[in-house]
Amino acid sequence: MEKPLNLIILGPQGSGKGTQAALLQKRFDAAYFGAGDALREIAKTDTALGRKVHQTINVEGKLVEPELISEVVREKILTVPREQNLVIDSYPRSLEQYELFRQFWSDMNRGPYTVVFLELSEEEAVKRLMQRKRLDDTEEAIRQRLALFNSLTLPMIRQMEMADEVICVNGLPSIEQVHQEILAKLK
């Protein structure tokens, strides 16, 4: 049996991760899981966990604990049949999350995964995010999230590159051009 296509979409906020993940999900008839979407849903709930997640991501502009998001992602992946293609949006996002991911991924027997890294300048990311008008998109929160990306996620991506798990794609061109570059590099 052929192993499924497992894709992880990473990049700074505003790089088009969600858009490209949706296009790849459709193209490959894949299950989709967005870590940010899951956390935003949890943050809306009036529970202790919901309030904690809301405070962390919406007020402080920080990442939740690696164990929490890793458990959420692991549980979601377990619901996907092993033979089905999978697109994961925005996870892992730190070296600690990456280590947790590698531990549970190897136990799942889903085969290899490929990381699609959408590269985008900070200036362009801020410009795009200010136009998006999402609740957590104040300029201060945007700059905080980009600083977190640079300090936590980029070092992880560099480590993934050393393991030859990453394809880098320029996130600046049009949605369709970025999508075509991803497809070409996946071949």
d(CA 110, CA 113): 8
Q: Is residue 143 marked as binding? A: no
Q: Is residue 115 marked as binding? A: no
Contact 115, 165 (CB under 8 A): yes
d(CA 123, CA 143): 10
Structure tokens at 88: 């994961």
The position carrying tokens 């190897």 is 106
Tell me the residue type at 132: R
Sign of the alpha-carbon torsion through 57, 128, 164, 187: positive
Q: Is residue 134 marked as binding? A: yes
Q: Is residue 132 marked as binding? A: yes
Q: Is residue 16 marked as binding? A: yes
Q: Is residue 102 marked as binding? A: no
Q: Is residue 11 marked as binding? A: no
Q: Is residue 173 marked as binding? A: yes
Q: Is residue 64 marked as binding? A: yes
Which letter does DSSP use for residue 28 in this model?
T
Q: Is residue 17 marked as binding? A: yes
Binding residues: 14-19, 40, 62-64, 97, 132, 134, 145, 173
Binding residues for ATP: 14-19, 132, 173
Binding residues for AMP: 40, 62-64, 97, 134, 145
